Amino acid sequence: MSEMNLLQAVNNALDFEMEQDDDVLVFGEDVGGAGGVFRTTAGLQEKFGEKRCFDTPLSEAGIIGAAIGMAVYGLRPVAEIQFLDFIYPAFDQIINEAAKMRYRSGGQFTCPMVIRTPYGGGIRGGHYHSQSGETYFAHTPGLKVVVPSNPADTKGLLLASIRDPDPVLFFEPKRMYRSSKGEVPEGEHVVPLGKAAITRPGEHVTVVTFGAMVEVALKAAKKAAAQGVDVEVVDLRTLVPLDWETVAASVIKTGRLVTLYEAPKTCGFGAEISALVAEKLILHLEAPILRVTGYDTPFPYSLENLYLPTPERVLDAVLEVANY
């Protein structure tokens, strides 16, 4: 085991898998000699050469289009989009090509590729460097959507994503690149897709969340415990495939649900969780389902701390459903 931050865990996973499999290639804007804008790919070009880790033109559609061709050919491309906010020029390639390759070919072709991209707020990036667009992709059949919340899961989920036969969107919470630290297994360490984690067991209220908001939920749970409310925190880890069984078991146990995400409230992924619970578990609920989210506005610059969910906002929701 080695202590790493989340950024180092990304780098370690890429390094390990490139050593294991010569078909794994890493590319994107400035990922080569510069090591990426956040340094997640530092040292990879020097170690594996320019044919396996290389810079691309400033063309997101070109990056993803090339990755699709490589994947269908039999390679394992890992394409980086510098910020999630920049991914939309490639939206057509992702939604209409990568996601549909298995279906349109009747299973003759798969598209084993990973699109890595930092997402979310917390670094004062303003409205062009802070968005959380995971629901756009979770809405699309054929794509898998992964959002880690800590270094060990980051390595394990990234290895699982690279080895998956279908296209995976891998969202990295950039506010946690250097702030989140923990023990990470050396060498082989795979965390299966589609399996949530109970990061804090509890009896009174379930909080379902993912990515950077897991840390916020845990801080809120600590505050709630001081007031006699025991919060269970469920880290989804993968949005698609969704581990419904873990979510359902937690809600059946507590009878209360708060969903937490930093994207705008309307149609956020927590709304899907809320709908599933309302459809399937309504008789187990002891209180209305609440969402703690960002706001239905562009992501602000100077008001970032007001926009992002805080432990205090989560605590208010937890206490409201606990005292209903």
Residues designated as active site? 129
The β-bridge relationship of strands 76-80 and 114-119 is: parallel
Of 167, 248, 156, nearest to 193 by C-alpha is 156
| Contact indicator for 111, 144 with CB cutoff of 8 Å | no
Cβ-in-10-Å burial (0-12, 13-18, 19+) of 252 comes to middle
Query: Which secondary structure element, helix H or strand E, spans residue 90, and what is its range?
Result: none
The β-bridge relationship of strands 290-292 and 257-260 is: parallel
The DSSP code for 177 is: T
Amino acid letter, 310? T
Where helices occur in the chain by DSSP H, the ranges are: 6-20, 44-48, 60-73, 91-92, 101-104, 134-138, 151-163, 213-225, 244-254, 269-281, 304-307, 311-322
Whether residue 192 is preceded by a cis peptide bond, meaning omega within 30 degrees of 0, is no
Q: Could you tell me the CA-to-CA distances from 267 to 90, 117, 147, 206 in Å, in that order?
A: 22, 21, 18, 20
Q: What is the 3-state secondary structure (H, E, C) of 14-52?
A: HHHHHHHCCCEEEEECCCCCCCCCCCCCCCHHHHHCCCC
Match 């709908």 to its residue by tokens: 275
Match 């060990």 to its residue by tokens: 152
